[in-house]
Structure formats: C-alpha cells, structure tokens
C-alpha cells in the first residue's frame, strides 16, 4: 500500500531505504526462476541529516545518494522509498459498509480518532480487508494508514533533488512483509502469525502479520543507537569506538559462563546491553499482548492464532547471540530473513559477500520488489 504514488508499472524501479545511519539501494528484476538482484549497495547517511525519520539536510542526502548510484552504475530514474517511525500510524478499524468513493471521504474523519497530529498535515490511505458481522451488523474491516506529510515530503523532495522519480512512498513494515513473507516459497509463513522485528539505528519496528494479513505495527526507541550509547557510556568512549566494539567484540549472552569466554571489553559491553535488551523484550511482549487483546473476544474475533515465530531484520539483527537471547526470553522460534539462501532472489555472479548483508538490505529489497511483484501478480491467471 503506497501513501504516495504515481507512474505505475516501472518494473525496474530501485528500492531506496534512507535511514538515519545508512542509505541502502537495491534493484531487482523478475526472471523465469523468480527474481534477480542486479544492483545493491549502501553508504553512510550524512551525520545529523535524518532526525526522527525526517530528512533535514536534503542536499547532503541527495549528494550521498547520487554518489552511491554512480558507484553502482545505476541510471534508472524510477525509485520506491519508505517511511517509518512512531508518528506513522497503522490501524485496523471497522466501519459501516459503504461504497469505496464514500469511504475515501469518511476515512479522514476516522483517522482523527487514531492519530496525534493534525489530519490536515497528514497523508491518509486505506485498504479494505474484507467484511465481518458485529452484533448482527455487517461491517467493513479497513486498514488505515496515516503519516505526517513532512515525513513523505522530505523523502520525495530529496529524491527529486537527486534527479530521481519517486513512483511510491510506502511504509517500511510493508516492504519487510514483502521480503520476509510474500516471496515465492514462503507459503508456510502465510499460514502463520509472524512477528517482524526490524532493529534499525533509531527505531525498532515491531509488526505482526497473521495469515498473510498485516494487523499491527509499533515503533519503539530501543534500537541500534541505544545499544551503541549504552556501550559508550559504560566504557567511557565515543560512539564510533562503541559501534566498532558492538560489531566486533560484543555478544548477547544469557549466562556468566558464556560471558567469561569474551574479551574483558566484550564482557563489559555485553553487561551494558542487558537493560536495553530487557526493555526490548518487554516491548515485544507488550506488542504480542496488545495483538492478543485486539484479536480476541474483546476485539470481536475468536480463534485467532497467537504469534508462532519471530523474524529479525535490520543492522543490529546481526549482533552475535541476539537470536538465541530472544528465543530464550520469548520462548518462540527466532530467525533472520534468508532471501538468497532460499533461492527467492538470485545473486549476481561474484556477489556472495551480499549474503551477509541481507538483514541490512531487507527493507530496500522489499521496496525494489514492489513493482516486479505487482506486475507478476497482474499476469497470473485468475
């Protein structure tokens, strides 16, 4: 679902994920065997250029993006971008059954009940999910999506400054859902209730997808920067040094025996992470509890499955021991996205090093897949 869109049908559009820490770029094309990765890369986001999801220094980001595109040899103008953060709202709402043209007028009024910012300054979109009966009254189940227009405008303006044509701006969790669940070969996942936990630099997005339907999204501030700041504070070092230690010497551990195998610095760093990780686990549990409440008898639906597994993505998903820690704490299977190994997306010859970067590229990959998957869906026999 796009919050902003035009020029449909650009099958070779580039997915661009502009984060506060890194800019990621991916291009994917459809082929007989599925999808082929043609270009992928990343570059650091200029310092302080992105704050709370809004691109403040647009010329600097546009310049960095252009440099990356030149390095990758990409000259396709069409791109798909995404927004995310605490101010982005995704809600399932029930409304009286009405024609779609009438719903377009009514959804803005409904949005006022769910967003904390002026609806006049927002982009509001919706998708009709189906119908249900509540108290013998037929209702429409509608997914409501709203974002401050500033989030979207800052990306569109930056991309246009870079000489690009944004064909859509959608939500990051929808791109993740495309990469993690909707790909061919993932049929089993469409029959489960999955939690997507994307640990970025500034925010962690916790999304729940049940039987292929997006049902819940929350954004929390326990994320990669929180981990880095905790290590920096305990060790008395700057953020750059702490980031290096996080990536090379730190391991998430659940017992002192394992911790004793780390370097002295690694032991201190792992202890520094414990309060942050405890809070992240609490937020994930809160998300599950809210989903259970929303989908249970109080929410009008019965017999709905609970979360059956967690799929991790984002730069900090690679942190050693994190998968095992969350598995132990939440008593659920925890895994990372394995796009290339599953054969869903073929790598170019000689690009095996991208296998280890898939967690960082997942959102950009989902954005790049948007147009080829839509075109393939249109071509399927009904």
Helix H, strand E, coil C: the string for 25-80 is EEEEEEECCEEEEEEEEEEECCCCCEECCEECCHHHHHHHHHHHHHHHCCCCCEEE
Per-residue pLDDT at 267 exceeds 80: yes
Distance between CA atoms of residues 154 and 18, nearest Å:
11
pLDDT of residue 121: 87
- At 22, give phi and psi (nearest 5°): -145, 145
**53-57, 81-85, 93-97, range with the lowest pLDDT:** 93-97
Quickly state the pLDDT bin for 122 (edges 50, 70, 90): confident
332: tokens are 């659920």
Query: Which fold does the domain 187-336 belong to in CATH?
Result: Nucleotidyltransferase; domain 5 (3.30.420)
**For helices 239-248 and 224-235, angle between their N-to-C axes, nearest 10 degrees:** 110
Per-residue pLDDT at 41 exceeds 60: yes
Q: Which of 10-14, 16-20, 253-257, 317-321 has the highest mean pLDDT?
A: 16-20
Q: Which of 152, 174, 202, 154 is nearest to 52 (CA)?
A: 202
Quickly state the pLDDT bin for 10 (edges 50, 70, 90): low
pLDDT of residue 186: 67
* Count of other CB atoms within 10 angstroms of residue 319: 21
Q: How far is CA 131 from the centre of its chain?
A: 27
- At 249, give phi and psi (nearest 5°): -120, -10
Percent of the chain past pLDDT 70, that is, above it, reads 90
Distance between CA atoms of residues 122 and 139, nearest Å:
26
- Type and span of the H or E element at 160: helix 149-161
pLDDT of residue 372: 87
pLDDT of residue 7: 42
Listed in order, the ranges of the chain carrying CATH 3.30.420.40 are: 1-87+148-183+339-382, 187-336
Residue that has been written with the tokens 């859902």 in this structure: 177
Widest pairwise Cα distance in the chain: 65
For 182-195, what is the mean pLDDT?
Answer: 81
For 239-257, what is the mean pLDDT?
Answer: 91
- Sequence length of the chain is 382
Dihedral angle, C-alpha 89, 90, 96, 101, nearest 10 ° = 80
Residue 305: CB partners within 8 Å, gap ≥ 6? 192, 193, 210, 211
Q: How far is CA 201 from the centre of its chain?
A: 12
The angle subtended at Cα 244 by Cα 238 and Cα 245, nearest 5°, is 90
- Type and span of the H or E element at 148: strand 137-148
Tell me if the domain spanning 1-87+148-183+339-382 has CATH number 3.30.420.40: yes
pLDDT of residue 26: 94
- pTM, 2 dp: 0.88
**147-156, 261-270, 346-355, range with the lowest pLDDT:** 346-355
Per-residue pLDDT at 188 exceeds 90: no
280: tokens are 């992240």
Per-residue pLDDT at 334 exceeds 50: yes
Per-residue pLDDT at 382 exceeds 50: no
Q: Are 306 and 292 in contact (CB under 8 A)?
A: yes
Per-residue pLDDT at 360 exceeds 90: no
Judged on CB neighbours under 10 Å (0-12, 13-18, 19+), 172 is: buried
pLDDT of residue 71: 94
Per-residue pLDDT at 68 exceeds 90: yes
Per-residue pLDDT at 381 exceeds 50: no
Residue that has been written with the tokens 């939440």 in this structure: 330
Q: What is the mean pLDDT of the chain?
A: 87
Percent of the chain past pLDDT 90, that is, above it, reads 50
**Residue-wise DSSP of 178-207:** HHHTSSTT-GGGGGSEEEEEEE-SS-EEEE
For 13-25, what is the mean pLDDT?
Answer: 94
Distance between CA atoms of residues 152 and 147, nearest Å:
8
Per-residue pLDDT at 136 exceeds 90: no
What's the first-to-final CA gap in the chain, in angstroms? 21
pLDDT of residue 298: 42
């Amino acid at each position: 679902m796009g919050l902003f869109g035009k020029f449909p049908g650009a099958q070779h559009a580039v997915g661009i994920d502009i984060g506060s820490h890194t800019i990621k770029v991916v291009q994917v094309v459809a082929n007989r065997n599925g999808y082929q990765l043609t270009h992928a890369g990343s570059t650091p986001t200029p310092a302080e250029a992105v704050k709370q999801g809004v691109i403040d220094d647009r010329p600097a980001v546009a310049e960095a993006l252009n440099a990356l595109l030149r390095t990758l040899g990409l000259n396709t103008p069409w791109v798909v971008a995404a927004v995310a953060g605490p101010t982005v709202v995704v809600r399932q709402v029930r409304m009286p059954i009405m024609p779609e043209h009438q719903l377009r007028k009514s959804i803005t009024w409904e949005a006022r009940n769910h967003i904390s910012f002026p609806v006049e300054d927002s982009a509001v979109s919706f998708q009709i999910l189906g119908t249900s009966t509540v108290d013998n009254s037929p209702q429409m189940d509608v997914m409501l999506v709203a974002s401050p227009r500033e989030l979207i405008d800052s990306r569109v303006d930056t991309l246009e400054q870079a000489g690009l044509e944004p064909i859509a701006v959608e939500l990051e969790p929808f791109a993740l859902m495309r990469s993690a669940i909707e790909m061919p070969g993932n049929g089993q996942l469409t029959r489960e209730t999955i939690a997507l936990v994307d640990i970025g630099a500034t925010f962690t997005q916790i999304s729940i997808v049940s039987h292929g339907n997006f049902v819940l999204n929350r954004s929390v501030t326990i994320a990669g920067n929180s981990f880095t700041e905790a290590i920096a504070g305990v060790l008395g070092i700057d953020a750059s040094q702490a980031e290096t230690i996080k990536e090379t010497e730190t391991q998430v551990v659940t017992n002192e025996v394992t911790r004793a195998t780390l370097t002295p610095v690694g032991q201190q760093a792992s202890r520094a992470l414990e309060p942050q990780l405890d809070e992240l686990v609490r937020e994930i549990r809160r998300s599950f509890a809210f989903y259970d409440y929303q989908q249970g008898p109080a929410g009008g639906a019965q017999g709905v499955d609970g979360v059956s597994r967690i799929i991790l993505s984002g730069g900090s998903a690679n942190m050693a021991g994190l998968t095992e820690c969350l598995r132990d704490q939440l008593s659920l299977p925890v895994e990372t996205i394995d796009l290339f190994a599953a054969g869903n997306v073929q790598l170019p010859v000689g690009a095996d090093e991208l296998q280890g970067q898939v967690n960082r590229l997942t959102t950009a990959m989902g954005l790049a897949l948007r147009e080829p998957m839509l075109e393939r869906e249109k071509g399927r026999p009904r």
